[in-house]
Amino acid sequence: MEYEHHPLEPFLPENARLLFLGSFPPPRQRWCMEFYYPNFNNDHWRIEGAAWFGDRNYFVDAVGKCFLKDKIVAFLRQKGIALYDTAKTVNRLKGNASDAFLEIVEPTDIRALLQHIPQCRAIATTGEKATGEVCRYFGLNSIPALGSKTRLEGDLVLYRLPSSSRAYPLAFEKKVEAYKTLFREIFLL
């Protein structure tokens, strides 16, 4: 059994008020950049572009078929948005990017991440597996409904967002609305 260790360092701007937690990056052959949500077929950066700027291609290099990493990083630093995943080490049971076939061998110590971003008051999960892991970590007995928020501890709140994967059966516009709701509450968008 060959375990896969997380290939990226946590992205934790000092001013972060929001921490996005996914499950784990896809296999490297599906990457178009060395950063989070690197699969060009994943709509995370299109959703953020549409939510913040009204332009789904704001972070997209259509000709190069990749995302504009420098523009994304500058934006995240300016807004105070941190990124990591709920797993540090995994076993891909089928060798693909599907969360259904992702066995978490070593979960992320979320409180250790939060120590680096003391202004953070919200965690947003971008999929059911990530949501389940956050709930397990904080001792919640059930997974909150999609689009809801749940208090984790103190003033830290969990927002459950729809997956940005195109495999997730929800219209792009509905995903954008869910993200906008979060951004309005956290950043007064």
Residue reference for tokens 């059994």: 1
CA dihedral (35, 163, 88, 150) positive or negative: positive
* pLDDT per residue as tens digits for the range 28-40: 899 999 999 999 9
* Domains of the chain as residue ranges with CATH: 4-187 (3.40.470.10)
- Is residue 41 within 8 A of residue 172, CB to CB? The reply is no
pTM metric for this prediction: 0.93
User: What pLDDT is attached to residue 168?
Assistant: 86
pLDDT confidence of 133, banded at 50, 70, 90?
Answer: very high
Pick the closest to residue 146 from 116, 177, 119, 104 (CA basis). 177
What's the chain's average pLDDT? Answer: 92
CA 151 – CA 26 distance, rounded (Å): 29
* pLDDT per residue as tens digits for the range 1-23: 688 899 999 999 999 999 999 99
CA 30 – CA 38 distance, rounded (Å): 7
Over residues 112-134, the mean pLDDT reads 95
* pLDDT per residue as tens digits for the range 76-111: 999 999 999 999 998 887 765 566 667 788 999 999
CA 187 – CA 130 distance, rounded (Å): 23
Q: What angle do CA 75, 81, 61 make, to 5 degrees?
A: 40
In one-letter notation, the amino acid at residue 47 is I
The counts of H helices and E strands in the chain are 5, 10
Question: SS3 breakdown of the chain: % helix, strand, coil, rounded to 5?
Answer: 30, 25, 45
CA 51 – CA 107 distance, rounded (Å): 30
User: What pLDDT is attached to residue 147?
Assistant: 87
Residue reference for tokens 């784990």: 24
Quick one: what percent of the chain has pLDDT higher than 70? 95
User: What pLDDT is attached to residue 97?
Assistant: 58
User: What pLDDT is attached to residue 95?
Assistant: 64
